[in-house]
Structure 1
Amino acid sequence: MAEMPEWTGAGRVGIDIETYDPNLKITGPSVRTGGHIAGISFAIEDGPCHYLPMRHEGGNNLDPQTVLRYFRNQAKNFKGILVGANINYDLDYMAEEGINFNHADQRDVQIADPLIDELHFSYSLDAIAKRHGLPGKDEMFLRQAAAHYGLDPKKDMHRLPAKYVGPYAEQDARLPLQVLRRQERILRDEDLWPIYQLECKLQPVLLRMRRRGVRIDLDQLDRVEAWARKREQEHLDLIRHHTGVDVGMDNIWTKAPLVRALTALGVELEETPSGQDKLDQETLNAIDHPVAAAIVQCRKVNKLRTTFVQSIRTHMVGDRIHTTFNQMRRTKQDGDTKGARYGRMSSEHPNLQQQSARDEWSGMWRAIYVPDGDIWACADYSQQEPRILTHFAELCGLPRAKHAADAYRNDPKTDNHQMMADLCGIPRTPAKNIYLGLCYSMGGAKLARNLGLPTKFITTRRGWSGEVAGDEAQALLDAFHKHAPFVKKLADLTEEQAAANGFIKTLLGRKCHFPKLADGSYDWCHKALNRLIQGSAADQTKAAVVALDDNGFDLQLQVHDEVDWSPANIAEVKEAGHIMRHVVELSVPSRVDLEIGPNWGEAKEQIA
């Protein structure tokens, strides 16, 4: 170890770890649940590259404490840039061993590549390297050794003698350095550098959030489970009372007993193309009988009891959960590709983006998430996407857009859907449905069905036949387009841009691409408005997360357009709102709803 180089003065160092990670496919990285580092590789750019093994079951290890001491010392003083692939995985394990890079920046080739093009099938290091003209990783030696020992070359790497792993591990440290230089040229040439810088700043924030975790009220979790079991039984009892069929608590998703119950009522079910009875939620909702409603509700409560409650129990470490935030589309350690395209964040292990918000138990369920102090705070962008749409429409000078923008400027609390209703002289509900339908590129027939209105079939003079909105729905659409024309015109404009260029650019310069077809045209261009506003909302939210972290906020969750944490006082909550409103300035004011309470579910007290 004495001959190991000092990192002081190095500009860039590539890092990678090999691990024993027994729960990776079940609960995510096992850094807090029995996993450990088997060895650490590093490569100084244009310098030496080494793999320091310390816990390989097959031997050839260095003394673990000596290895860890070396990396702790380098981390303490390193002020350059760390480079890797899915580097938060490595840094999480290293932090658990006391290796903290408090003065370094970080760059990740799996962050850079989806910014260049988010439509690729794989973002593994090997796939990325090959896309950029590099040979990828040579695994032949590793695979030969694994075959000799009867082991899986990836899952069992920690069991191999370290001498067979070293050459492969060193590639994992050096290759990202080579790839990143090529990616950075593209990022600069395509004017993606500012959004790349934002994503680079966000990555360590998300690691801090994961390591910080969220505390769970175990007693409340027990209460939720008991309530769900009781309510589930009540629904099953109702089904038995009306039909004489005992479905059973573990069979609510099993088709056969449910078909027997509905048949006992005289219900004739449609058949699927394969000849099976059709029993989806749409079918159940169309059956006007308490039994059908009980089946729907029983399934929801069953999902609460099994999927939601059990997921928390499975992922808890002590009384906390440590979710993994996916900031981009990426290929994980286990080879699966996860994460949302177009900039939106997602989470897994557990998935905290899918939290019940409108069911009868939503507040009770969210009450399991409790602060580290006395206050739980939520800061949520209100009607973020409509405001962003209005911003772009006004910048483009589209008709009536300034009228809508002025409404926001005159009253930042303006409700978009009521404003649309007032503009168009139609009720709020159809105004909202039409607005959202246009944002999601719905056709007239689907919009009519969403409004609960008839459709009709027509044949045009050119011979096209199809389903369109009926007269009543079309009258509402015509009124909307007449009085709020900027929504449809922005949809048309973004579609034209996508068709011409193959991409559109979001608020902070993210490119959202469209698949290129064999004839050179681009597919899915009718989705361009949705890409614009969703991608721009992601830009604003990510910028807010970075700004809040920069200002000392210890964030714990990010869910859709909301951030959550345990503030010290009310003043801190108000400061967060100010930061979020102004981190990205639009032509209209951004609105942030601030709420506090003793837990997430009871965070109802609004802060002005």
Structure 2
Amino acid sequence: MTFSKGCHLHLIDGSAFIFRAYHALPPLTRKSDGIPVGAVAGFCNMLFRYVANNSGADAATHVAVIFDFSSKTFRNEIYDQYKANRPELPEDLKPQFPLTREATRAFNIACIETDGYEADDIIASYACRAREAGGRVTIISSDKDLMQLVGDGVEMLDPMKNKRIGRDEVLEKFGVYPERVVDVQALAGDSVDNVPGAPGIGIKTAALLINEFGDLETLLERASEIPQPKRRQVLLEHSEQIRMSKRLVELDCDTPLTETLDELEIQPSDPEKLMHFLNLMEFRTLTKRVADSLGVAPPVPVEPIASLPHAEDTPGGTPPEPERLPFDHARYECIRDAATLARWIDAIQARGHVAVDTETTSLDEMQADLVGISLCVEPGRAAYLPICHREGGGDLFASDKLCDGQMPAEQALAMLKPVLEDPAILKIGQNMKYDAKIFARQRGEGYADGIVVEPYDDTMLMSYAMYSGLHNHGMDELADRYLGHTPIPIKSLLGSGKGATTFDRVPIDEAVKYAAEDADVTLRLWQLFKPKLHQVQVTTVYETLERPLVAVLARMEMAGVLVDRDTLSRMSNAFAQKMAGLEAEIHELAGGSFNVGSPKQLGEILFDRLGLPGGVKGKTGAYATGADVLEDLAAEGAELPARVLDWRQLSKLKSTYTDALQTHIHPETGRVHTSYSITGANTGRIASTDPNLQNIPVRTEEGRRIREAFVAAPGKRLVSLDYSQIELRILAHVADIPALKEAFREGIDIHAMTASQMFNVPLEGMDPSVRRQAKAINFGVIYGISGFGLARNLRIPRAEAQAFIDTYFARFPGIREYMDATVAYAKEHGFVQTLFGRKIHTPEINSRGPTAGFARRAAINAPIQGAAADIIRRAMIRMPAAIEGLPAKMLLQVHDELLFEVAEDAVDTLITRAREVMEAAADPAVRLDVPLVVDAGHGMNWAEAH
């Protein structure tokens, strides 16, 4: 939402909340480690009450909690005794300040602080900008200094008294209206903040003087006219002190802001994130209250993450104590010349390992320019090598001239290439795939073919191997969780929104602190994680399934897949015409025109105008019109919801694929270069982003047509190899189902066989609808489908669907036994495992309420889907060696499918070699009781090949 007239911004004074919480509640410590958390508990209660009460006509549309960054600000440069008399913070309050920031983020509320400025200045700047944009502002604070902002759409709310403060209340407090509060404060001074003011003049006298003379400057200029000798003398003798005092108390409305007004738009709470934080703080009562308000089950109290692995995984059966490396005062150096870089290279060679990180101009590795490289050889000792920082800021007229004090890029990279490629030196990274691609793209004298970073370790993948299902694996979260350190946020250097700059415009001195810290954090995480891999028994998973995949995916991403822009354009036009036709049909059915893309208007048409059943309004007062609602209505024979579903499908295909894919075509290669995330799913499945090529629908004609735009280069063909029903085959193996195993061995149609077993019908001449029902059950069971879900998929009564499922389990009792055993194992151990040793943690498995069913289904599915993911990973890792020498490249991985580009005369050879690798991918680690079968196809485009 663009902030404009009609928007309402709430600015919460975070420090006021903290001190009020601290003094209002008795001391409280966290039982697990003794950290004081009383103020955090009170702060969270206040935020919860705020969120719960933010409703009605006066509700905020945008909100932020504003904090003081540090005690030193620009006012200390004006007057070095400013706030000098303030007492030291209580020792038990100091460690709670960073936790209140975490609490704010956990509630999904913007958390803002700026170095060198007080919270009041940030509040003033946001208030002024919101007012200029035509919006309303409510400042939630009782701080008298903020009263100078009241007026013209800005008011205050005293949270302690639940009292609104407008112009009249300010007049009552200061004797003047808000625009003259600064003048009164300048005269009266402030003993708390050590603002000197005019000796002997208090608020009442100051107000009388300002009301008489109009403003402070006029008063000081005409001080000689004041009849009272003592007042006259004070004003004449201390005029400069009074003017200085005004500068101290006057709020700065031009404070640099890290977030735009638009970015402060209220966001719904993320239950998982909020529950995790409250549970970590051990706020049992509040956790339950918040869970109830969100309609989720409170999480079961768990041991701290650092206490993993489980007892049975550790010598002696006792979980290890949390390991936290101290973050000592770091020494970060800037490498500006060859001699300094040579010294660092000597240190790297002597150490035998180095943490390395790149700084670039973009997250798109295929178009990003390398700006600098950071290196770390031991905790607290790191360096940054700038090579492409440019003068000036990031505005349109900024200079492209390189900053002084940098090594030439070619010289620096030529010196580093032997180190980065030295097999005796381990390179350590966090998300090494990104850095490997950046180095591989560098071309220069002595490294014309790029730089191949080998060997390497990746702390992100180590975390994923150990803690999949427990938390995310980004560096900032890992640093906070395992090192107790919050790295410098990138936004503090680049800014955000439209005003954001790129890293090459960051001053080198600032870049050194940020970039070297990244390498330092990465090395510390590696030192912590490397031995833990063995302790939690996932070394094999990391070494055989995670780490080797980095180089494979990097090569695939750099190869890209050729996309025909003209084909996409034609499809977009065709979809647009078809959507227009559907819109006309929808309007006719609705009895009038409306915005088909508006859920609110659609809900009013369906449930108010047409009176269809099942209308349910959400918290916003609008009817729910999600796909599930429309599918239920369509199943009951309602034509309009069915047409809307068709329109939405075309709209998504057009916006997400035929339009968006054109923007992802690389200007130089003409190809689309997706990025694969190894840690994108807890089960081990690889995720595709920017763009996502794994979710292109294949069940509809329009969706399948999109694959026609993915084409082979001249003289080549696209080859698709796809595992046949791999998850059902794994289920037959792990659940030990003789009938399913025999069918797979004999090559029998598994869905027809299931239908025959369940419904007692012969295989020959089977009704296709019966087979389709069996297929839906086969795949549904893997995902723990319910009778309700199956009924929706097959559009049959729920009782009939449940009967199908009951019959299925009766015919194949081993499946139910597998499910029950898997859930029991997860409840006992807190994780499940794949056939290849991958651990997927299940922290919610013992929860109650709405999340219980999901956690149970996830636990059942994870070993099956995870094993399938492990098998295709093993195939991908072995594939480069298998197809070496062939004019072929592996381009894409889409769930159970691999897509290759190969010369026309090598298609058959590629299919033979790739199929051999894929069908033997489980061996020798696991001997499956059923064969793996791979289907192959080829053509000029992906649709023909699949």
Give the TM-score category using the shorter length.
0.7 to 0.9
Which letter does structure 2 place at the counterpart of 1:582? A
CA contact (8 A) 2:568 2:659 kept: no
The residue aligned with 2:438 is 93
The residue aligned with 2:943 is 601
Equivalent residue in structure 2 for 1:316, among 665, 668, 693: 665
Residue 542 of structure 2 corresponds to residue 196 of structure 1: yes
Q: Deviations over 1:503-535 (max 9, x none)?
A: 111021100111168999x96245322011011
Report the secondary structure of 1:602's partner residue: helix
User: How many angstroms does 1:273 deviate by?
Assistant: 3.9
The residue aligned with 2:478 is 128
The residue aligned with 2:644 is 295
Distance 1:603 1:428 in 2: 26
Distance 1:217 1:9 in 2: 51
CA contact (8 A) 2:616 2:623 kept: yes
Report the secondary structure of 2:729's partner residue: helix
User: How many angstroms does 1:124 deviate by?
Assistant: 2.7
Report the secondary structure of 1:252's partner residue: coil
Distance 2:784 2:496 in 1: 53
TM-score, normalization by structure 1:
0.82
The residue aligned with 2:893 is 558
Note closer, same or farther for the CA distance 1:264–1:366 as it changes in structure 2 (3 Å cut).
same
CA contact (8 A) 1:214 1:322 kept: yes
The residue aligned with 1:406 is 742
CA contact (8 A) 2:379 2:520 kept: no
Distance 2:612 2:467 in 1: 49
Deviates more, 1:498-507 or 1:156-165: 156-165
User: How many angstroms does 1:77 deviate by?
Assistant: 4.3
Question: Which aligned pairs between 1:20-169 and structure 2 lie closer than 5 A?
Answer: 20-21=361-362, 29-33=363-367, 35-44=368-377, 49-57=382-390, 59=403, 60-98=405-443, 100-102=450-452, 104-132=454-482, 134-136=483-485, 139=488, 157-169=503-515
Distance 1:293 1:519 in 2: 37
Distance 1:530 1:519 in 2: 18
Which letter does structure 2 place at the counterpart of 1:347? S
Residue 912 of structure 2 corresponds to residue 574 of structure 1: yes
User: How many angstroms does 1:588 deviate by?
Assistant: 0.7
User: How many angstroms does 1:152 deviate by?
Assistant: 13
Distance 2:481 2:500 in 1: 22
Residue 568 of structure 2 corresponds to residue 230 of structure 1: no
Q: Deviations over 1:147-171 (max 9, x none)?
A: 9x99999966543331332243223
The residue aligned with 2:528 is 182
Question: Which aligned pairs between 1:336-415 and structure 2 lie closer than 5 A?
Answer: 339-372=680-713, 373-394=715-736, 401-411=737-747, 414-415=748-749
TM-score, normalization by structure 2:
0.54
Distance 1:501 1:473 in 2: 33
Instruction: Tell me: higher relative CO, structure 1 or 2? Use CA pairs within 8 A at least 6 residues apart.
Output: 1
Distance 1:473 1:43 in 2: 60
Report the secondary structure of 1:567's partner residue: strand
Report the secondary structure of 2:389's partner residue: coil
Note closer, same or farther for the CA distance 1:74–1:582 as it changes in structure 2 (3 Å cut).
same
Note closer, same or farther for the CA distance 1:316–1:156 as it changes in structure 2 (3 Å cut).
closer
Deviates more, 1:374-383 or 1:265-274: 265-274
Which letter does structure 2 place at the counterpart of 1:423? Q
Note closer, same or farther for the CA distance 1:41–1:259 as it changes in structure 2 (3 Å cut).
closer
Distance 2:808 2:689 in 1: 39
CA contact (8 A) 2:381 2:520 kept: no
Distance 1:518 1:508 in 2: 25
The residue aligned with 1:512 is 840
Which letter does structure 1 place at the counterpart of 2:825? Q
Residue 783 of structure 2 corresponds to residue 440 of structure 1: yes
Report the secondary structure of 1:566's partner residue: strand
Report the secondary structure of 1:2's partner residue: helix
CA contact (8 A) 1:8 1:77 kept: no
User: How many angstroms does 1:428 deviate by?
Assistant: 3.0
Unaligned runs of 5+ in 1: 22-28, 329-338, 395-400, 456-469
User: How many angstroms does 1:74 deviate by?
Assistant: 3.4
Q: Which has the larger radius of gyration?
A: 2
Aligned length: 556
Report the secondary structure of 1:557's partner residue: strand
Distance 2:719 2:866 in 1: 25
CA contact (8 A) 1:13 1:42 kept: yes
Report the secondary structure of 1:351's partner residue: coil
User: How many angstroms does 1:243 deviate by?
Assistant: 5.3
Residue 860 of structure 2 corresponds to residue 529 of structure 1: yes
Distance 2:727 2:847 in 1: 34
Which letter does structure 1 place at the counterpart of 2:810? K
Residue 872 of structure 2 corresponds to residue 538 of structure 1: no
Report the secondary structure of 1:379's partner residue: strand
Equivalent residue in structure 2 for 1:479, among 777, 801, 807: 807
Q: Deviations over 1:431-482 (max 9, x none)?
A: 3333333322234454455554545xxxxxxxxxxxxxx3x55543443223
Deviates more, 1:41-50 or 1:552-561: 41-50
Distance 1:299 1:112 in 2: 41
Note closer, same or farther for the CA distance 1:446–1:225 as it changes in structure 2 (3 Å cut).
closer
Deviates more, 1:259-268 or 1:374-383: 259-268
The residue aligned with 2:676 is 325
Which letter does structure 2 place at the counterpart of 1:476? F
The residue aligned with 1:419 is 753
Distance 1:447 1:245 in 2: 35
Residue 482 of structure 2 corresponds to residue 170 of structure 1: no
User: How many angstroms does 1:351 deviate by?
Assistant: 0.7
Q: Deviations over 1:195-218 (max 9, x none)?
A: 101210001111111111111112
Residue 933 of structure 2 corresponds to residue 591 of structure 1: yes
Which letter does structure 2 place at the counterpart of 1:298? W
User: How many angstroms does 1:8 deviate by?
Assistant: 5.7
CA contact (8 A) 2:436 2:453 kept: no
CA contact (8 A) 2:826 2:845 kept: no
CA contact (8 A) 1:216 1:369 kept: yes
Which letter does structure 2 place at the counterpart of 1:67? A
Distance 2:553 2:581 in 1: 42
User: How many angstroms does 1:320 deviate by?
Assistant: 1.1
Distance 2:718 2:930 in 1: 29
Note closer, same or farther for the CA distance 1:68–1:367 as it changes in structure 2 (3 Å cut).
same
The residue aligned with 2:287 is none
Deviates more, 1:39-48 or 1:65-74: 39-48
Deviates more, 1:506-515 or 1:401-410: 401-410
Distance 1:517 1:482 in 2: 26
Unaligned runs of 5+ in 2: 1-337, 392-402, 761-769
Which letter does structure 2 place at the counterpart of 1:326? S
CA contact (8 A) 1:14 1:82 kept: yes
The residue aligned with 1:333 is none
Note closer, same or farther for the CA distance 1:79–1:555 as it changes in structure 2 (3 Å cut).
farther
Which letter does structure 2 place at the counterpart of 1:191? Q
